[in-house]
Structure formats: C-alpha cells, structure tokens
Amino acid sequence: MKTILAVCALVWVVAGCASTGSKSAAEADAAAAGQRNPAAAEAARNVGEAYLAGGNLVAALRELKRAEQLNPDDHITMFDIGLVYYYRGRYDQAVDYLQRAIRLKPGYAPAINSLGNTYSAMGEWDKAIEAYERIIEDAFYGTPHFALSNMALAYYQKKEFDQTERYFLEALKMNPDFINALAGLGILYIEQGRYPEAVSRLERAVRKEPKVAQLHFHLGRAYRGAGNNARAKAEFTRAAELEPDSPLAADAQKELRNTP
C-alpha cells in the first residue's frame, strides 16, 4: 500500500546552542575521573542537539555521549541519544535510552511518544499502542493529535480498521487540518470503497499541502473510485509533475493509462 504516513519522532531542539569548540581541560579531567559536571554536560548536549537538528547523527551522538558521561542523570540527554539511535535504525538501543529517560523522569511525554514510534518501526504494534495510550491520557501533553494518529496507524497494521478510523477521527477533533490524519483516513476510505468520504478528506489535505505529490496521487485514486475520471487524471498528472523521475511519478503515469 502506498502511504504518506510516516512514524514520527519528536525532536527536542534547543534554541541556544553552545560553541562546537573542543572541550576544556577541566571538562576532560572530570570526564576521565567519572565526575559529574552538569554545566559542561548541558553545553555538550546543546551542541549535540544542534547536530541532531541538522541531521548530522554521527556528530550528534559523539556530543550527546559526552554529555551522558558528564551527567548520566539528565533525562533530556537520554532522550536525545534515543532519538539518534532511532534515526539510525538501531531500535533496540533507542528503546534502551528512551526507557532510561522515562525512568529518570516518569511521564516524560516526548520520550514516551518516541518510544511508541520506535516500537512501531520495530513492528511491535501492541507495545506502540500502549505507549501512545499513556500520551493520550496525559492532559498536559501539547500535541495529542500526533499520538492519536500514530495509534491509528498501529491499529491499521493490526488490521483493526474500526479502531484505525476512530483514532484518526479523534486526531482531527484535536486538529482538523492535521495532514497525517486526513491522509490516513482518505487512504483507509479508498481501501474500504468509501470514495466520497475519501475525496472529502483528501481534498482538504491537498488544500493545506498543495505541493505534496502523494496527496494528489491518492486524491486521484479517490476521484476515480467516485467515478470522476477527469478529476482523477488531473490529480495523477499533478502528482507526476511534482515528483518527476520518481517511482511515484511512474505510478501516477500508470494510473493515468488505466483511467478511461
């Protein structure tokens, strides 16, 4: 199945990043002696987070492991290291560090959400759902629509489609323009033959994100299922234009040929 849904992890970004210069002699001595140095650890963590935000995972891990050595009780550092391992596809290590973050700060929502994402990436859907449920029950969590949509995706993988629809709809109650939930519902409705409902959800998604080729592709599928071949062709054409020379463009061209 073609889908634009992706397992999301919440990236913790600190606005003020420290200098990337070499560590001081005092910091090196503290690290070598196993001494805690929270101030130096925070500086190293800030640098690591800047590398993480920029996608330099190797440099991020180097700085964050240095921060861990200087302050092994900082839940944010454990969370950040978990994210690096998640993005590198080293899921067992990601789980270990995310669980450490949660043990250090029980109820730490970003780590719990990312733990759910990691279990999803591992295909451990029940564990993922358990993590997302903890987030949804947290009245202080600021973006519950992410967890709701991720839980819907986990239920989709378990082929529990009533629950899939339920949680996508719950996500949209929180944020009516949330693209993952709009697209997820649209794709689910296409697979269930509920084409008018799919068109409604995907049209809204395309209005919000008109340059996302996958949205146009799936909207084309919904239009064709609803019997509107002219609109379907227009959407397949637009999808191919937005991502020329891509596998999606080839799929869109194939759908064009198969649409009367």
Task: State whether residue 82 is helix, strand or coil.
Answer: helix
Q: Does residue 12 sit within a domain?
A: no
Average pLDDT over residues 87-93: 98
Q: What is the DSSP letter of 198?
A: H
The model's pTM is 0.81
Mean of all residue pLDDT scores within the chain: 89
CB contact burial 71-85 (16+ within 10 A = b; e otherwise): beebbbbbbbbbbbb
pLDDT at 103 over 60: yes
Residue 60 resides in a domain = no
Q: Would you place residue 17 in the very low, low, confident or very high pLDDT band (cuts 50, 70, 90)?
A: very low
Question: How many domains does the chain contain in total?
Answer: 1
Residue 200 lies in a domain: yes
Report how far apart, in Å, the C-alpha atoms of 91 and of each of 6, 65, 81, 118 are: 16, 17, 11, 6
Between 19 and 137, the more confident residue is: 137
User: Residue 181 maps to which CATH number?
Assistant: 1.25.40.10
In a domain, 63, yes or no: no
Whether residue 260 is contained in a domain is answered as yes
Express each pLDDT in 173-211 by its tens digit. Answer: 999 999 999 999 999 999 999 999 999 999 999 999 999
For residue 61, being part of any structural domain is answered with no
Q: Categorize the per-residue pLDDT at 34 as very low, low, confident or very high, splitting at 50, 70 and 90.
A: low
pLDDT, residue 4, reads 33
Res. 15: pLDDT tops 80:
no
pLDDT at res. 137: 85
Domain annotation covers residue 37: no
pLDDT at 14 over 70: no
**Would you say residue 5 has pLDDT above 50?**
no
For 140-185, write each residue's pLDDT tens digit: 888 999 999 999 999 999 999 999 999 999 999 999 999 999 999 9
Helices and strands per DSSP (H, E), number in the chain: 14, 0
| Residue ranges making up the domain that contains 196 | 176-260
Residue 221, domain member (yes or no)? yes
